[in-house]
Chains A and B, each alone.
Chain A
Amino acid sequence: MELLLFILPLFFALSVLIIPKQGVRAYGIIGSLAVLGVVIACMMQYNNDGTTHYFVNKPWLAGITLSFGYDGISLLMLLLTAVLVPLILVSNFKNELAENRLFTSMVFFMQLGLIGVFISMDGLWFYIFWEITLIPIFLISWWFGAPERKAALMKFFIYTFVGSLAMLAALIGIKVNAPTFYIEDLKAVTFTCKTACWLAMGFFLAFAVKIPIFPFHTWQPDTYTKSPMAGTMLLSGIMLKMALYGMIRWMIPLFPEAVACLQWPVIILATIGVVYGAIIAIKQKDMKRVFAFASMSHVGLIAAAIMVWDFDALSGSMVQIVNHGLVAVGLFLAVEIIERRTGTRNLADLGGFAKQAPKFAFWFAALAFASVSVPLTSGFIGEFLMLKGLVQFDMIAGIVAGTTLILGAVYTFRAYQLSMYGPVTRDQFADLHWSELVVLAIIILAVVILGVYPALITDFVNPSLKVVLETLSTPSGL
């Protein structure tokens, strides 16, 4: 049945190309819900003891194995993907784009790649799926993005591809010492600290570009701004989570020796990114750019918390990964809602929509609160646990990263205030369409439920996180 995880997206990606135009909207949503069904069935099946459940595990060729399986962490990422893709399709419902066969097909190809990344337990397959995701997202943005997108997208592709090549080099470097690419075989290899550092850097480059961590972020604001809404949502909602997942699943377990030397540099860079992204977000005029930099700031904190490699911090980062995925999709939808109605995202030209569209004002406000992690939203739990880990690791790093809470409030509410309050700038501002309402409501509900009862996530991933933490071969410095 798990094979359906591959077959369904592939089937829908190809079959949507021959569906009549009117049916594409519904077909896409049906397809993504079907995938969601399969993922939920997998979750039901999984006995939550933290071990990896393999559904295929056999040697293939040239040291590459067919190992696909999942544990709690993978399942959570799968669930995030499977939930977000229908949400993205629904939020796109009002756009003409939703009727486009190619677009819907590319979304399914993207989903195929993402699912592959999360269930590959073989290094080379991980790399293959990692690269596969790049092509559909590039094409989505290239075909359907803003008019002056080309330079930004070339930059994006080259950046991420070069980063991935570094990972390929590291994979080859570790494979020559191991019989196969199977994750357990790779974990069994031990290195001297110096070699491990070099190889781990290869992985880190690939992940740092995708996350993005300062100073590898320069592709990100432009690409986010120039992509169509669905592309931005895919990028920030799911795609950068691949890199965070990759850190937890591959980078650190494969090179535990490197943690000692990489820990500090990564945490410093990530913390710089947290503050830097937030400060730049405050100054932005374009609403989408505000949330692009905000995304960079939030994710930098997650990366730093993962690098602390502490149980609570990891569990907090898992909560925050889910939270950020949901909230980022919501925020970019809010931007899109404004842009659809007014044709601009420039904060100086906006204002006064709260009076005209009270429903939208309410849900957008709820999203803004979720984004700045007030208690009762899942962001609070996540950021609290992560900051706790960081403070325990190093007081100063914790405090500097903690400023994200304050700065986050500043840029989020500045964007909210400038767009929703103030003098009325438009004669008309239609309130929410049902499709927009559904997406926002689902996101807010999920965020609040997880904020009140985060054990839904933590109980699910903690056994797996324990296993990942325990099986590190050398506990040096940990």
Chain B
Amino acid sequence: MDALLIVFASGLISLFAAFAKKPWLVVGSAMAGLLAAIIVIIGQLQTGKAFFDFLTYEGLAFDEFALLFSLAICVLSLLIIGIGYERFKENPVHTGEYVGLLLFSATGAMIMTAYTDMFMFFLGLEILSIPIYVMAGSNKTDVRSSEASLKYFLTGSFATGIFLFGLAWVYGATGTFKLQEIQMRITEMDTLSPILMIGVLLIMASFVFKVGAAPFHFWSPDVYDGAPPAVTGFMASVVKIAAFYAFLKMFAICFGQGELFLFWKDALIVMIIITLFVGNLSALRQVRFKRLLAYSSITHVGYTLILFVSQVDYFFTAGFLWFYMFAYGFSIVGIIAVAIAVNDPEDRIDGLKGLGKRNPFLAVVGIVALLSLAGIPPTSGFFAKYILFSAAWKSASWLVIIALINSGISIYYYLKVIVAIASPAEETTEKIKLSPLTVVVLTIALVGMLGFSFILPLLN
């Protein structure tokens, strides 16, 4: 709760700081707020005590996992604001809006990790989504950006509608919004009511839409491609973390028992397989960098969803999910930083050529991030994938083998980008200068990508 308040407050502060028309002030206050939130969360994780204990509301519970996921959200938001600073600076009048919206969106994400009833979840989802609709269109002069915003808004609100519709069915079947009570009602049922089953399917569809799994993925390449890079990074990391954990919480706690699990499991497995192949095969022929990233992120959604059908204990699943999403988020930060710094107007993969000469540090970060996305040791992306696959092997070894085949396919397009970075430049060879802030952020991301796996023992 403390961290939530702090992030919300710093969002407000940075919004008002914008009146000074000094980007560094806005970004500074936002980063200070997020840092404070991170410190508070770590403190709360260690002591188990919150300062605003009296403020607890029954719809929200910051248990250990909610805190861990909030930590991931805060850290990644901090890094993304850090790498986006250069872009914000170009447009000082609007910095406050971007940063403020981003923080509000992060607030929504934190609510989504801590919800205990459906009502609160819905609020969190909307708080998360609405700022992103705006942020995706923040390049007002760019047609693609406006297209991204509109597309995301239309499809997003459609998905929200589906969620509410599904929620109505579930409410009709169980008569409550609270997760625990829904779970109790479902276990009390002798036979599953069809009303409940329809509701669960609809809710699942809306979640799958939100995380961008096939066949509900059509919005994501356009939106990722059109949105400003920092927003793309935010969507690929923070939004996914929140959506995945909310998904896991709802489906593991409420709908994860016995027959109901078997009911939606098969549907999800089919979707996983489609997602993996659609994401990978579409990525193979992309020439635009962020579009490639969008398809790669669809594939990663496919990998992650394997956890949901792997029938592992909830605590392990949540832990693995946290690790996977955190590791993935670091790689996204690294990759997005490269996209921002190169700033190719057409965003071609070939535009990355000569990066090694233009800025060796950035090239190293980019290559490590791509290796991490591809899951090549010793990056944390590899450990994340390994843990996920080994967790799923017992119950769904054939699914793991399909996923491994897909890793094999995916290496082609990651390699394409890696060799583009390692190749000599075609035209421009002017050096890229990184601001000290970006260097610090990238160093953190690099350490995260290479050494994040070493914090695994702490999880136990």
Q: Which residues of A are interface residues toward B (Cβ below 8 A)?
A: 60-63, 124, 127-129, 131-132, 134-135, 139, 142-143, 150, 154, 157-158, 161-162, 165-166, 168-169, 172-173, 175-176
Contact = CB atoms under 8 A, between A and B. Distances in A.
A157 B422 contact: no
A127 B377 contact: yes
Interface in B396-423: 397, 400-401, 404-405, 407-408, 411-412, 415, 419, 422
Contacts of A135: 371, 376
Given A128-B382, A169-B401, 18 more contacts: A60-B457, A62-B390, A124-B386, A128-B377, A131-B382, A142-B422, A150-B419, A157-B415, A158-B408, A158-B412, A161-B408, A162-B411, A165-B408, A172-B386, A172-B389, A172-B393, A172-B400, A176-B394
B386 A176 contact: no
Which 4 residue pairs of A and B lie closest in terms of their CB atoms, listed nearest first? A128-B377, A162-B408, A61-B456, A61-B457
A27 B238 CA distance: 46
Nearest to B411: A161
A176 B408 contact: no
A131 to B, nearest CB: 5
A169 B371 CA distance: 19
Contact of B407 (A128, A150, A154, A165): A165
Contacts of B400: 169, 172
Contacts of A142: 419, 422
B387 A131 contact: no
Dominant secondary structure at the A interface: helix
B397 A173 contact: yes
Contacts of B394: 176
A60 B394 CA distance: 22
Contacts of A150: 419
A276 to B, nearest CB: 26
Which of A61, A131, A166 lies at the interface centre, i.e. has the most chain B CB atoms within 10 A of its CB? Answer: A61
Q: Is the interface of B mostly helix, strand, loop or mixed?
A: helix
A158 B415 contact: yes
29 contacts: A61-B457, A61-B460, A63-B390, A128-B377, A131-B377, A131-B382, A132-B377, A132-B378, A135-B371, A139-B422, A143-B422, A154-B412, A157-B411, A157-B415, A158-B408, A158-B411, A158-B412, A158-B415, A161-B376, A162-B408, A166-B404, A168-B389, A169-B389, A169-B400, A169-B401, A169-B404, A172-B386, A173-B397, A176-B394
A179 to B, nearest CB: 13
Residue among A62, A63, A124 with the highest chain B CB neighbour number at 10 A? A62
A150 B424 CA distance: 13
Contacts of A131: 376-377, 382
Contacts of B393: 172-173, 176
Contacts of A175: 390
B77 to A, nearest CB: 27
Contacts of B404: 165-166, 168-169
Contacts of A161: 376, 408, 411
A172 B378 contact: no
A131 B378 CA distance: 8
A465 B408 CA distance: 35
A63 B394 CA distance: 15
A62 B380 CA distance: 14
A51 B393 CA distance: 33
Contacts of B376: 131, 134-135, 161
A441 B389 CA distance: 50
Contacts of A124: 386
B440 to A, nearest CB: 21
B311 to A, nearest CB: 13
B378 A128 contact: yes
A62 B385 CA distance: 13
A464 to B, nearest CB: 27
Contacts of A61: 456-457, 460
Nearest to A17: B360
A260 to B, nearest CB: 23
Contacts of B389: 168-169, 172
A124 B386 CA distance: 9
A267 to B, nearest CB: 27
Contacts of B397: 173
| Interface-central residue, A60, A135, A142, A172, by most chain B CB under 10 Å | A172
A165 B376 CA distance: 10
A167 to B, nearest CB: 10
A284 to B, nearest CB: 28
A165 B407 CA distance: 8
Contacts of B378: 128, 132
A198 to B, nearest CB: 10
A63 B387 CA distance: 10
A176 B382 CA distance: 18
